[in-house]
Chain A
Amino acid sequence: MSLMTDTQGTPERVFALAQLIAARGGQIPRDEVRHWLDLTSADDKESTAVRQTVGAASSLGLVGVDTASKSLVLGVNNLPRDRATFSDWVHEQLVSLPQAHPDAVVLRAFAWFVANVGKHRGTTWLSDLSNQQIADAIRSDIASDEEGSTFNVTRYPRWRDWITFLGLAYDVPLKGGNVFYPYVTERLRRLYDELFEGIDAGQEMEVEAFLTRLSDRMPYLDNGPLFVDMTERVEWSPSPGRLSPVTSTALRDLHDSGVLELRMHGDARDAYSLSPDPTHRIAAFRAVVPTARRAK
C-alpha cells in the first residue's frame, strides 16, 4: 500500500475519494465506496482502481480505516479545497515522511534526479536513457533492496504522474518519446509565502538564509537532506557555492517573471553561482528579494 504500488490511485482519484468521505460526513462504509466511485462494475467485487485509490490515500494518511465499523474515515481535519492545495498538502506530507515509509521513495527518487542533473550539468542525459535504464538506476542507487523494489519501470510512469502533480516536473515530448524534465518552479512558487515568511517585499534575504529555508521545505534541492544523501549515492560532490541546475532554473524563472529578484552586490566573493546558462544574464547572486507580486 503506497503511491508506488497502488498505481491506479492517481492524484485526482485520491483527492476525489477524500472529498467523497468528507461529503459523507467524514466516514463512509468501505462497501459503499465502490458504488460511488466505480460506475462500471455491476458485481460486488471492488475494482482494482478503487482498491488502489483507497490504498494510495491510506498510504498518504489521507484516509484511515475504522475496522469496527468497516468504514473509511477522513484522516485530516481540514481537507484541501482544490487540487492545487491538495498538491501542497501531499508535498508537505511527503516531505515529513520518515525514510522508512514506503512513500518516502517518491521524493528520494526525485532527489536522485536533481543530483544526477547536477552531476551531468544538465538534463539532456535523460533523453539518452530508456525508462528501463532510469528505473534500474534509481532502484540500484537509492535504497536497500527492500526499499528499491518499490521502484521499477512499470511504476515509473505513475511516479512521474505524482511528481508532475506536485509541480516538480513536466513530461516533455522529445523525438522518440516523452522524457521526464525536473522543473520545480511551480512548487517553489507555491511555497513562496513560507520561504519569505517575515520578509517584506523589497527586503533582501541573504542567500544562505534563503537556501536554508528552501532545503527545509524542498529537501530534495541543494543542501537538503534528500539531496545530500543522493549526491553521496550517485558519487558526486557539488561545488560549494554553486547551485544545481534544477534549483538554478527555478530561481532564474522566478526572477524573469518578476516574482523575486536575484540580487548581486558588485562582484561579491561570497556570492552563489547559478548553474551555467549562456542565455541568461544572471550567473550569480548574493541575496534574494521577494517582490510585491504574489507568486500564487
Chain B
Amino acid sequence: MTDLPRTACWRADDARHVLATEALEGSEAAFLATHFPITDFEIEGTRSAEVETCDEEGLYDALSSSDVRHAFCVVEGEPGSGKSHLIRWLRGRWSIEDDEVLLIQRLDGSLEGTLRQLQLKLPGLEARFEGFAARAQDLTATGQANEFFSNLVLALRHGHLTNPPPDQDWCEKFSLDQVLHPAEVMERWSAPRRIVELLSGRKGDEDRDQDLARFVLDDIAELEEILRPLPAPSPRAVRFLRELQKEAQGIRSLTDEEKSGSDNQEALRIRFENSAQLVDALNARRNGAVQNVLGISTEGLKEMFDTLRRELAPRRLVLLLEDITAWEGVDNQLIDVLVTNVETREDNDLCPMVSVVGLTPVYFQDRHFQANYRQRITHHVRLGHADSSGSFQEVSSLRTGDAQVRFAASYLRAIRAGRERLESWGGGPDPVPNTCDGCRYRTECHAAFGEERGVGLFPFNRQAIPELYKSLVDPTHRSTFQTPRGMLQGVLGPTLNDPYSIAAGEYPKATIVSSWIPEETQRIPTFTAETIAAKCHDEDVQERLARLLRFWGSCEAGAATTTLDDTGELRFGNVRRRIYDAFGLPWLGEDHPAHDDGGPTPPPRSETDARGWKAGDEHGQPSDDRVPDDRTDRNKRPNRADRPFRPVRTAELRRFQELLSRWRSGAPRQTEQLNRVAAELVLERLPWNRLDIPQWVRTRLFTRDLIILEGTRQARSTHFVLPNEDWVSRGIEAFLDLRDAGSALDRNELERHLRAYAAALLELEARVKEHAKLLLPALEDGMQWPLAATATQVLLARAWLRGVASPLDPPWQQWRNILAAEEEATSAPQERVDSWNETVERTRGSHGKHRTMLQSLVNLPQGDTDALAFADASIGAQAIEELSQSFRLSRVPTLTENLVTQIAELGYLIRDANETDQRLGKVPARERDRLKRLALIIDKSLRGLSVHDHVQRVDRVIEDVSNRLPNAAPRAVDEWKLRKAELGNLGFLDPDEDGPGRDVEDLVDGLLVSEMTLPEAQAELLDWLLRAPVRSLNVLHLALNSAEYAIGELHHFVATFLSEGPASQGSFREIQNAGERITTAASLMLAILRGSR
C-alpha cells in the first residue's frame, strides 16, 4: 500500500482567500506570498534604454529614478496577464517619500467609479471635482442610454460639431443621422445601452473584463435588422442600407473566432466595408456623446489635472492607472494629460509626473489610439508575445511549462499555509511557510506527484498543470485565458476550491475542468476511451480515468499500455500507478510492463534471414520478429514511458474527429463535410461486386447527395441514412485515420481501426442491400423484380416488330442486337396492323433509356470503368427464351406513384412493359388476318388477271376516257396516275415474272387459293409476317383501290352526261361528236365492267 495523502492538505476558504484574482484583493501577505516575479517582458518606447533588466525591478528603477520628471509608461497585456499585478506591485514597491503616488484601480471598470476613486484619493482636493460628471446622476440607465444615442445621432448630422471627424461628408452622403433617427432604433438597438452600462459600471467588472465600450460589427448587424422594415430617407440611403443588409448576413455567419484576433480585423474591414465605416463613424463620436451625458466638457479633465499638478509642484505625481478602459469616454483627454511633458513646457508651473497605464493589445492596436500618443510613450512594457496564431499574446512569464509549475507551486504553498499563518508571516523576511516540510507523506507524495522547490504539486503533477493551462480557451474567442488569471481561475481554482472531492473519491471530478477548457480539448481518443471502458464498467470512474490520462499523463493510443519508468514504477497512460491509488482509481495497466508492441515481452531477436525478415524464435514462442529490418529498427525505441508521444494526426484529422464526436452527441456541425466522408466510404470502399446491386441501381440510389449521416439533414426516403450509432462514428473515424495517418498510428490503435473499419463495411453492406430493396419496386408477391429481364423483353419486342431481329434468330444474336445501337426498321411497322405500329411507337421515346439501363445492369467490368465490356447475359438469355416461347413479358411490379425520382425511369419501363405485353401477343394474328383481308380484296380487284395485265387494262380505259372527256373525274384520274407511277417504281409494271407483282400474286394465291398453311406458333408466324411482301401488297392494294374508284367516277360522269345532255348551246356538229365519244366510252367501260376486255 502506498503512503500517499487520501485527503486534501488545504482548506477551501484559504484557497478562496489566496486565489482572489485581483492583486491585493486577498491580502497584502497573500499577495506577497504568491507574488510571481514578472520577468522577460519586452520593452520599447523613447526611453526604454533606461530599463536595464527586463523585469519588475528594472522597470521600477527606471521609473523611480529621482531625475525622472516625466514618464508615460504603458503596460500592455491581455486581460489577466498581470498588468494590474505589476502596477500594484509598483505601488507597493514605490518608496520615494516625496512622491505623491496614486493608484487608480479598475474596480467596477466604470468611468464614474474611476473618477470617484480619484476624488477619494486626493483628500483636500474634493472641490476640484465639484460639478464634474454630475449630470449622469440625474439620469436613469435608460435615460443615459437614450441621451447617449441622441447625442450620437446629432453628432452624425452635418454642421453639428465644431470639429467634426473627417468622415463627415460620408455620413452626410447617406443621411446617416436620419437613417438612425427613427424612434424604433432608439427603443430596440441594444448597443448604446451596452456601452453606457460598461462606462457606468452597471455591468460590473466581472462582465466587463476590460471590454472596450465601443461599437462593433455585431451592433451593425443588429441595427440593420431594426432598420430593414423602416423607410429610408433618401435613394442613397436605400442603396447604403441594401449594402448593409448584404454585409449583415455575412457578419451574422461569423464565428466568435473569426471575429477575434488582430489579424482578422483588416480582412473584416475589407469584407464588410460599409459596416466597418459606420462602426468607425459611431466610435469617433462616442466620446463626445458620452461626455455630454456625463456633463464633462472636453477640457474639464485636463483643467482638473493641471490644477492638481500646479498644487502638487514641486513634488512628483506618480499616477498608476490599472486599466485605461476604465477611463473610456474621457480616455483621449486623460492621455492628453499623461503625455504632457513638464520638461517641454515653457511654464514651469506643473509638477513632474510619472504615469503607468495598463492597456490591452486590442486597445493599443485600435485605430482610435492615435499615432501621436504611441510616439510619446516613454516606456512600453509588453507582458506577452504574439502566439503562433498571431491572435493573442502569450504571457512571457508563463510561457514555459516549468514557469507555469513554479507559478502554481507558489499558490499551492500559500494556500496550504493558510490565511492565519500567512498573516503571521506578514511578508517576510522569512521564507513563505511551506507545510510540505513537516508532512509525513512528503517523500512518497513528492515522488508520485512531483514537487517544485520543495513544494509538492499534489493533487496535480508536473504534467497536469501545463496541460490544463494550455487547454484554457476563452469561449468567446475575444481574448486569451492563458494568463496568470486564467491559471488561477481555470487551473488551480476548480481543484483547490473543492478539496472535499479527493476524500470523497471523486477526484478528478468533472468540475476540475472549467468552462474555459473546451469539450473538444477534454476528449480523449476513441481507442483510449474504449480501453478504459473495457477495464472499468462504472461510467463516472471511466470519466475520471479519462481526465486523469488526458491531463496527468497521455491519452494517446500509444500510451495506453503498461510501461516501466526510470524510477522502476509502472505507468499506464504515462500516469504513475501510485496516482491511481491516491485518487482511488482502478489501475488500468498490467502488473508487468508490456512489450513495446503491446504484447508480452518477446524472446531475444535472432538473425535476419535472406529475405530481410527476422526468423521466428527457436522455442516457437510468439514473436513479432518476422518483419523487415527497417521495421525491426523502428522497434528499438526507448521505453514508452520516457518517449514523447507525438501526435500523428493532422489538425484536419483532429478537427474531423471533433465533428464526428459532435455528431455522435447529437449536435452536428459542418454537416456537409461529414456527409462527404460518409459518402466516400460507402461509394468508394464497399466491395460492390459481391452485393448483387447492379451498377445502374447503384449509381442512382447511392450518390454523394443521397448518403447522409442521421440528423445532418432532413432525411427523405431516398436518402441512405447512416444511423447515429457507434459503429458508424468508429468506422468513419477509422477510415479517415487509416487513410490519412496510416501506419504512423500506434500499433494497437491501428489494429482497432482496422477492425472498426471492417465491421462498419460489413454492416454497411447489409444496409445498402436493404435500402436498395426498399426503394426498388418488387413484384406483387414481394419477389425481387428482375429489371434486366424486363428491359431485355421490351427492347426485344421492339426489335422484332421493327424487323431488325426475328424470334427465330439465334438468341445470342437477338441479345447482341438489343444491346447495340438501333438500326433502321425493315418491317414497315406503319404499314402493318395498327397494334403493330402502336407497339413500336410506344417505345420510340424510351428505348434509348431502356437500352442504356440494360447495358448498365448487365455490365461486369473489371476495375473502375463504366465502359461496356463483359455482360452478365444470364437474365437476358432467360428473358429472350421466355418471350420467344410465350410472347408474354415477365411480370413487372404494379406502377405506382411511389417510385422515387432517382429511378423514375423504371416507371417508363413498367409502362412500356405493360403496353408491350398487352399488344405483342395479338399482333401476329391480327397482321395475318389483315393480310388475308387484303388478299381477298386484291384477288377480287384483279378479276382473274395477273397484276401486270390488270393494271395495263385499267390504265388504258382511264386514259382513253379521260382523253375523250377531259372534264371527267379529274382528281380520281390524277390519283390513279400517281398510284400507277408508284407501281412502276416498284417494278409492278415490268413484264418480268420475278417482280413484286408475282410475289403478291403468289401470296394472294397461297392465302386464298392453295390454302397455304401459316405457322401456328407466334414466333414462327411473326417471322413469316416479317418476311411477307407486305409493302408490295399494300401498294398494290392502294393502287387497285384507286383504279376502282377512278373507273367508278368516270362511269358516273358519263352516265350523268348522257341522261342530262350537253349543257352548252353548241352546234349540231359538236353535239354529234360528243355523242360519239360518249358512246365509245360507255362501250368501253361496259366491256371492262363485264370483264370481256
B250 at the interface (CB under 8 A from A): no
Contact code string B512-540 (vs A, CB < 8 Å = 1, else 0): 00000000000000010011011100000
Would you call B869 and A40 a contact (CB within 8 A)? yes
> A11, A121, A125, A253: which contacts B690 (Cβ < 8 A)?
A11
B32 at the interface (CB under 8 A from A): no
Q: Chain A residues near B869: list those with CB within 8 A.
A: 38-40, 49
Would you call B740 and A37 a contact (CB within 8 A)? no
B165 at the interface (CB under 8 A from A): no
**A79-95 with Cβ < 8 A to chain B:** 82-84, 87
Q: Chain B residues near A256: list those with CB within 8 A.
A: 759
Please, how many angstroms separate the alpha-carbon atoms of A16 and B514 in the complex? Answer: 63
> B621, B689, B765: which contacts A10 (Cβ < 8 A)?
B689
B598 at the interface (CB under 8 A from A): yes
Please, how many angstroms separate the alpha-carbon atoms of A16 and B871 in the complex? Answer: 8
Would you call A174 and B758 a contact (CB within 8 A)? no
Q: Chain A residues near B862: list those with CB within 8 A.
A: 8, 10, 13, 49
Please, how many angstroms separate the alpha-carbon atoms of A102 and B553 in the complex? Answer: 55
> B615, B692, B738, B810: which contacts A172 (Cβ < 8 A)?
B738
Would you call B626 and A116 a contact (CB within 8 A)? yes
Q: Chain B residues near A136: list those with CB within 8 A.
A: 611
Would you call B598 and A276 a contact (CB within 8 A)? yes
Q: Tell me the smallest distance from the CB of B790 to a CB of chain A, in Å.
A: 15
> A12, A40, A50: which contacts B872 (Cβ < 8 A)?
A12
User: Smallest CB-CB separation from A256: which chain B residue?
Assistant: B759
B870 at the interface (CB under 8 A from A): yes
> A23, A165, A175: which contacts B742 (Cβ < 8 A)?
A175
Q: Chain A residues near B761: list those with CB within 8 A.
A: 170
Q: Tell me the smallest distance from the CB of B68 to a CB of chain A, in Å.
A: 63
Interface size of A in residues (CB-CB distance below 8 Å): 74
Would you call B741 and A175 a contact (CB within 8 A)? yes
Please, how many angstroms separate the alpha-carbon atoms of A256 and B622 in the complex? Answer: 27
> B598, B692, B742: which contacts A83 (Cβ < 8 A)?
B692
A266 at the interface (CB under 8 A from B): no
Would you call A279 and B762 a contact (CB within 8 A)? no
Q: Using a Cβ cutoff of 8 Å, how many contacts connect chains A and B?
A: 215
Q: Chain B residues near A174: list those with CB within 8 A.
A: 738-739, 742-743
> A128, A165, A170: which contacts B743 (Cβ < 8 A)?
A128
A194 at the interface (CB under 8 A from B): no
Would you call B627 and A39 a contact (CB within 8 A)? no
Would you call B690 and A83 a contact (CB within 8 A)? yes
Q: Chain A residues near B685: list those with CB within 8 A.
A: 173
Q: Chain A residues near B531: list those with CB within 8 A.
A: 278-279
- Give the most central of A173, A185, A249, A278: most B CB within 10 Å: A278
**A127-144 with Cβ < 8 A to chain B:** 127-129, 133, 136-137, 140
Contact code string B637-676 (vs A, CB < 8 Å = 1, else 0): 0000000000000000000000000000000000000000
Q: Tell me the smallest distance from the CB of B731 to a CB of chain A, in Å.
A: 11
> A118, A172, A175, A280: which contacts B534 (Cβ < 8 A)?
A280
Would you call B873 and A253 a contact (CB within 8 A)? no
B624 at the interface (CB under 8 A from A): yes
Would you call B527 and A19 a contact (CB within 8 A)? no
Please, how many angstroms separate the alpha-carbon atoms of A269 and B73 in the complex? Answer: 78
Would you call B875 and A23 a contact (CB within 8 A)? yes
Please, how many angstroms separate the alpha-carbon atoms of A142 and B556 in the complex? Answer: 39
A193 at the interface (CB under 8 A from B): no
**B687-726 with Cβ < 8 A to chain A:** 687, 689-692
Would you call A36 and B873 a contact (CB within 8 A)? yes
Q: Chain A residues near B754: list those with CB within 8 A.
A: 123-124, 172, 181, 183
B815 at the interface (CB under 8 A from A): yes
Q: Tell me the smallest distance from the CB of A212 to a CB of chain B, in Å.
A: 23
A122 at the interface (CB under 8 A from B): yes
Would you call B759 and A253 a contact (CB within 8 A)? yes
Q: Tell me the smallest distance from the CB of B723 to a CB of chain A, in Å.
A: 14
Segment with Cβ contacts to A, from B55-63, B293-301, B744-752, B772-780: B744-752
> Can you show 26 pairs from A to B with CB atoms below 8 A apart?
A10-B689, A11-B690, A13-B862, A16-B873, A19-B872, A19-B875, A20-B872, A36-B812, A36-B873, A37-B871, A38-B869, A124-B750, A128-B627, A128-B631, A129-B628, A161-B689, A173-B738, A174-B738, A175-B738, A183-B754, A234-B616, A245-B751, A253-B759, A278-B531, A278-B598, A278-B748
Given A35-B816, A39-B868, A174-B738: 18 more A-B contacts, CB < 8 Å:
A11-B689, A16-B871, A16-B874, A23-B874, A36-B815, A38-B871, A40-B869, A82-B692, A120-B627, A137-B613, A164-B690, A176-B743, A234-B616, A236-B616, A236-B620, A239-B622, A277-B755, A279-B752
